[in-house]
Structure 1
Amino acid sequence: MPRFLTLSDVCEELQISSAQAYALVRSGELPAIQVGGRGQWRVEQTVLDAYIEAKYEQTRQQVARDRAR
C-alpha cells in the first residue's frame, strides 16, 4: 500500500466526486500536501484512515444524541 494517495485515490476510497475531495482538502477538513511542479495534492494513507475513523465517531455520537431525544 502506498504511503501517499492522489485525490483520485481518495475519491475512489470514499466514493465521492473529485470536487468533494478537493473541497475537503481546501477547507482543511482532510489534511493534504501539494507536491511537484504542478502542485498535485497528496493525502497520507494514515491521515485518510484517521479521517474515516473520526467520521465513524461523529456518526456514533450523532446516533446516540438522536436516540436520547
Structure 2
Amino acid sequence: MADGTTFLTVAEVAEQIRVSKMTVYRLVHSGEIEAIRVGRSFRVSEEAVRAYLERSFYEAG
C-alpha cells in the first residue's frame, strides 16, 4: 500500500456502501474485503472498498 492510504472503520465502510456493520464483518472474515487488524478491531483501506465494489458490479439487462 502506498503512503497516505486512508483507512476506514467497519462502521464507516458500512455507511459508505449502505450495508450493516455485520455485513462488513462477514465480508472481512470471508476475505471478500481486505482488512488489517488493529487491536481488536479492523480497518479497511478506501482502495480495498473500491476494489470490492468494482468486483461486485453487476450489469442488469
- Report TM bin, short chain: 0.7 to 0.9
Runs of 5+ in structure 2 lacking a partner?
A: none
Name the structure 1 match of 2:24.
21
Name the structure 2 match of 1:49.
50
- 1: CA distance between counterparts of 2:44 and 2:17? 13
- 1: CA distance between counterparts of 2:44 and 2:28? 9
Task: Return the TM-score normalized by structure 1.
Answer: 0.73
Pick the aligned partner of 1:10 from 10, 13, 16: 13
Runs of 4+ in 1 over 4 A off after TM superposition: none
CA RMSD, aligned part only?
1.4
Structure 1 residue 46 displacement after superposition: 0.8
Equivalent residues, number: 57
- 1: CA distance between counterparts of 2:15 and 2:26? 15
Task: Return the TM-score normalized by structure 2.
Answer: 0.82
- Which structure dedicates a bigger proportion of its chain to helix? 1
Structure 1 residue 53 displacement after superposition: 1.1
